[in-house]
Amino acid sequence: MSISLFILISCTFFSGCYPEGPTYYEEFDVVYTNYKKDYSFKDKKLFTMPDKIVRITGNIGQGQPPVFISEPYNTQIINRIKSNMIAKGYTFTADTTIADFEILTAAIEVENYQVGYWYDYYYPWYYPGYGGGWYYPYPVVSSYTTGSIGINMVERKNTSPNNQNAVVWLSIINGLVEGSNIDFSNRIDKCIDQAYTQSPILNQ
Amino acid sequence: MKRIYLIILFCISINCVNAQRNIFNLNYSVAFPLSDANDFISKTSWRGANLSMLHYLEPGIAVGVETGWNAFYDNVGYTTITDGTQALSGTQYRYGSCVPVLFNLNYYLMPDEVINPFVSLGVGTMYSRSDIDMGMYRARFETWHFALKPELGLQYETGATSGINFSAKYFHAFKTNELKETRNYLSLNLGFYWKY
């Protein structure tokens, strides 16, 4: 009797205290930023950026045109980056020859698959006289899509001897490409804002 | 099924004939993280259990082994971690598990009384696993610590060979090369003992 009571109490405690994990899509969002060490952003206020965001598909051949992400997300992301840059004290210019920085943005989507095995149990009363048991396991396939947005702030004026421009600040935003359109748009805005919030180095 | 009960009853009867030379303890455990473990996860753990098997060298002294498990968890919320020029933000969940494996020396102060206080010292190792989940990523730190465990407790005899345990254990798991943090915690334990 005491063992049964102990098991009952244990099950109650253990089931009630099972640790939680992420519940909402936004809880899977992460924002990473990094910048060039010892680089000074002061007094370099002009930035430019293309009006299209490249979508990295991984299957474009040499010489083929790039693929861009669809609207309304393209314009939404560009406008959000611009507004954050302006809030930090920068000025947008369409003239790439006078800009101190160019903001290059790219996005990627990855489909992830998981294969698990599921077991069904049959109770003794299903087949009287045979007792309970397990059915053969069968595979269950689930999938989820993850997406990343990479924002690169490239210095335009000081090119290296081999004509390459240095990335002086970058952000990678990663999360699940799931949920309603409104929720997804809000999450994108929130993550772009966070990238600039956690980068006080950009303040003019 | 009836036959199984009869066999169990028979085994118990045989044991009752002999003097009880061994004791088995099974406890439910609540743990309070301390020092570095508290910095990692400050929440009380309500998930834990431990068991021990000891052999009486004489009525008031027993030696044996102990193991158990205490699981810690905390939803830290949305946080930003910075490291040099890098910063990472996201909703952070933390999980910790501690599994001690110890050799115990128990000293019972009043072995012939209904209420029998005892002190115990355990020496051995503790496996600890500390997980930090952020987004779809997990950072895991696993290690084996050298561990010590002083314990104070009470046994309350409810039958000739069984009773109730209550004890407080302090686990001190030292820093390791892999994890430069201690995994110390205080646990309160309530359960049963059987002598056989």
ipTM: 0.78
Instruction: Report which of B47, B70, B67, B52 is spatially closest to residue B185, judged by C-alpha positions.
Output: B70
**pLDDT attached to residue A142:** 77
Nearest chain A residue to B97 by CA: give it: A19
CB contacts, 8 Å: B162 with chain A: 2
Q: Å from A175 to nearest chain B CA?
A: 7
Residue A96 pLDDT greater than 70, yes or no: yes
Average pLDDT over residues A7-27: 68
Angle, helices A181-197 vs A73-87, to 10°: value is 30
Place A132 in a pLDDT band, splitting at 50, 70 and 90.
low
| Topology of the domain comprising A22-202 | Double Stranded RNA Binding Domain (3.30.160)
Give the residue on A whose Cα is nearest the Cα of B93. A21
Give percent helix, percent strand, percent coil of chain A, each to the nearest 5: 25, 30, 40
Which fold would CATH assign to domain B19-195? Answer: Porin (2.40.160)
Q: Percent of chain A having pLDDT more than 90?
A: 46
Sheet strands (E) in B109-183? 115-134, 137-157, 162-173
Contact B133 A21 (CB under 8 A): yes
For residue B39, the 8-state DSSP code is H
How far is Cα B152 from Cα B135, in angstroms, rounded to an integer? 42
Pairing of strands A46-48, A101-118: parallel
Bridge-based pairing of strands A46-48 and A91-92 is: parallel
Residue with tokens 């950072």: B139
Nearest residue of A to residue B92 by CA position?
A: A27
pLDDT at A143: 79
Rounded distance, CA B63 to CA B153, Å? Answer: 16
- Mean pLDDT across chain B, nearest whole number? 91
Nearest to B161 by CA among B8, B7, B23, B65: B23
Please determine, for residue B162, whether its predicted confidence score (pLDDT) is greater than 90: yes
Phi, psi of B43 (to 5 degrees): -75, 145
Q: Chain A interface, mutation test: which of B4, B47, B78, most A Cβ atoms within 10 Å? A: B47
Residue B13, pLDDT score: 45
- Residue A99 forms beta bridges with which residues? none
Q: Does residue B24 have a pLDDT over 70?
A: yes
pLDDT score of B10: 45
What is the pLDDT, as a whole number, of residue A153? 94
Residue A115 — pLDDT band, cuts 50, 70, 90? confident
Top-confidence residue, A58 or B6: A58
Q: How far apart are the first and last CA of chain A?
A: 73
